């Protein structure tokens, strides 16, 4: 009964949109079960969206990465000019770029899961029998899903903690830290969708006799 009470408290806190209540509710162990179920449902929904809208599937994560990188470059470029030419410096010019870099890295991790460029060991796996290859690919999916759930739950707790403490980005007056931190669990929901995409492709290739292991290429479509 305690478990279901904790689950109910989590959903009640989320519906209340009170960051302090959310932070308190997410401390329970039930957050892991809720996180796993929500991650699975969210990943399945994202996979369906990607399938129905190929434009989003091809461009969303890459657009976030590119615009984050451009924003970082622009802030640093102007910061150098501002400091050495005008003898001035915006106080947030050293705090916003690291946060944008984290956003870029999180969405980049999701995108590269789809490309299988994260330690895929393709050279080793191509020498394995077909059954062993499929077992490795399923293991990849399971491990990525577990990793995503861990990140989603822990970073959601961090987001709630930051919001409940009204943490402001250093050097600014009204930019909240949780706005940036929230992109972490969101990007890992996208990662779960990518994991489901890969697993679906692997099972289809297994049934049709297509090659299971392909050489990963960074930056490929």
Domain membership flag for residue 215: no
In a domain, 221, yes or no: no
- Is 119 a member of any domain? yes
The string over 33-51, giving b where at least 16 C-beta atoms fall within 10 Å of a residue's C-beta and e elsewhere, is bbbbebbeebbeebbeebe
| 118: Cβ contacts below 8 Å, ≥ 6 apart | 109, 112
Could you tell me if 185 and 156 are in contact, meaning their C-beta atoms sit under 8 angstroms apart? yes
Report if residue 96 sits inside a domain.
Answer: yes
Sign of CA dihedral 148, 151, 154, 155: negative
Q: In whole angstroms, give the CA distance from residue 128 to residue 113.
A: 22
Contact (Cβ atoms closer than 8 angstroms) between residue 19 and residue 160: yes
Residue 218: predicted pLDDT = 58
Degrees to nearest 5, angle at CA 192 with 69 and 59: 40
Distance CA 75, CA 52 (A): 36
- Bridge partners of 176, per DSSP, are 168
Judge whether 50 lies within some domain.
yes
Altogether, the residues listed in the chain come to a count of 221
Q: Which domain holds residue 56?
A: 3-208
Looking at the domain assignment, is residue 214 inside a domain? no
Q: Is residue 218 part of a domain?
A: no
Question: Measuring CA to CA, how many Å separate 28 from each of 3, 19, 142?
Answer: 9, 15, 24
- Residue 8 included in any domain: yes
User: What CA–CA distances, in Å, run from 135 to 33, 129, 145?
Assistant: 25, 10, 15
The tally of domains found in the chain comes to 1
What's the pLDDT at 17?
83
Instruction: List, run by run, the mean pLDDT of 10-residue segments along the chain (221 residues).
Output: 81 86 88 94 95 92 94 92 83 91 93 82 79 89 95 95 91 90 95 95 89 67 55
* Cβ(199)–Cβ(138) below 8 Å: yes
What pLDDT does residue 150 have?
A: 96
Name the residue among 17, 24, 20 with its Cα closest to residue 6.
Answer: 24
In this prediction, residue 162 carries a pLDDT of 93
């Amino acid at each position: 009964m305690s478990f279901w009470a904790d689950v109910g408290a989590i959903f009640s806190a989320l519906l209340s949109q009170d960051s302090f209540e959310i932070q308190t509710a997410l401390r329970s162990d039930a957050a892991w079960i809720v996180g796993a179920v929500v991650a699975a449902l969210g990943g399945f929904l994202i996979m369906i969206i990607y399938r129905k809208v190929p434009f989003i599937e091809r461009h969303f994560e890459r657009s976030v990465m590119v615009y984050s990188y451009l924003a970082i470059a622009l802030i640093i470029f102007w910061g150098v000019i501002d400091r050495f030419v005008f003898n001035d410096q915006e106080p947030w010019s050293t705090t916003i770029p690291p946060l944008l870099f984290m956003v870029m890295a999180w969405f980049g991790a999701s995108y590269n899961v789809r490309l299988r460029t994260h330690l895929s060991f393709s050279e080793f796996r191509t020498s394995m029998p077909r059954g062993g290859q499929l077992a490795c690919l399923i293991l990849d999916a399971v491990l990525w899903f577990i990793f995503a759930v861990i990140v989603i739950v822990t970073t959601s707790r961090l987001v709630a903690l930051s919001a409940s403490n009204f943490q402001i980005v250093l050097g600014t007056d009204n930019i909240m830290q949780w706005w940036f931190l929230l992109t972490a669990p969101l990007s890992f929901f996208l990662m779960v969708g990518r994991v489901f995409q890969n697993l679906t492709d692997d099972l289809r290739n297994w049934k049709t006799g297509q090659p299971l292991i392909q050489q990963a290429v960074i930056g490929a479509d």
